[in-house]
Each structure stands twice: as C-alpha cells, then as structure tokens.
Amino acid sequence: MPRIPLRKSFDIIKLAYHGCNNRPFFHIVLLKNISKRNAPPMEMLGTYDPMPNIYNEKLVSLDIDRIKFHLASGVSLSKPVEKLLGLSGLLPVHPMSYMTAKRNRQKLEEQAESEAANKKGEVEES
C-alpha cells in the first residue's frame, strides 16, 4: 500500500466566496490552508465587493491592524489578497497589477487607433 505524505498545515489569508452567481462578494478571512474555501473562518479580516457601484468603484474594507498582526506572525497570503493589499498600499504593488495595467493601456491605445482609422476612412469616402 503506497504511503500518502502528510500535508503540512499553515495559516493563510484568502478570499471566501459569498453572494450569488451574478453578484459575487468576498470575505477576506484567515483559514488553514487545507480547509475549504467557505469553511468557517478563524478570523474575518475584511470584505471585497468586485462589482462596480454607481460611482464605478470596487469597495474593499480591511481590518489593517489585525492583518499587520497576522503578517508579522508569518501568515501566508493568496495571490488575489496580495494584489488587493498591494493596491491598498499595505504591501508593495504586486507585479501582476503592473502587467494588467500595461495590457489595459495597450488595449485602449489599439481601440483609439482603430477609431481614428475608421474616422479617417469615413472622411476620405465623403
């Protein structure tokens, strides 16, 4: 019978999914790494609403004191939480945020160029 290696258990701060299919909402929670996504958390550290409101804002609330305490005690972070904490200024900005911003800028430039080409083509046809 093969031996199954034991998985080491450690604490991690990650997003717990709440809400429904078309309206996601996340709690930022402290869990063990081997627990399920929506398991009862050891501690709730904040919330994240990824859907833009009427002012086109995505809302995040953080318990910064508790997050700093857990980071000082050596807790790991999931990638989405690292990105959120980087954008909030608590940690250095995650490299993936820079890459996403660069791709968005390139996409906007391409759209502007194609719109300019379409307008130029319409002017020449008239």
What domain range is 109 assigned to? 95-126
pTM for the full model?
Answer: 0.79
Co-location of 70 and 102 in the same domain: no
Q: How many domains does the chain have?
A: 2
Check residue 21 and report its DSSP letter: T
Does 89 share its domain with 116? no
Q: Are residues 100 and 70 in the same domain?
A: no
User: Do residues 41 and 27 lie in contact, with contact meaning Cβ atoms separated by under 8 Å?
Assistant: yes
CATH number at residue 19: 3.30.1320.10
Distance between CA atoms of residues 34 and 11, nearest Å: 9
What backbone phi and psi angles, to 5 degrees, belong to 96?
-65, -30
Residues 70 and 53 in one domain: yes
Is residue 45 domain-shared with residue 26, that is, in the same domain? yes
Q: For residue range 16-57, what is the model confidence (pLDDT) as tens digits? A: 999 888 999 999 999 998 888 778 999 999 999 999 999 999
Tokens (6 digits) for 80: 């989405």
Are 28 and 42 in contact by the 8 Å Cβ rule? The answer is: no
Sign of dihedral through CA atoms 74, 70, 19, 38? positive
- The pLDDT value recorded for residue 93 is 92
pLDDT of residue 35: 87
pLDDT at 1 over 80: no
pLDDT in tens, 73-103: 999 999 999 999 999 999 999 899 999 999 9
What is the Cα–Cα distance from 39 to 36, expressed in whole angstroms?
A: 5
Question: What is the per-residue pLDDT for 55?
Answer: 95
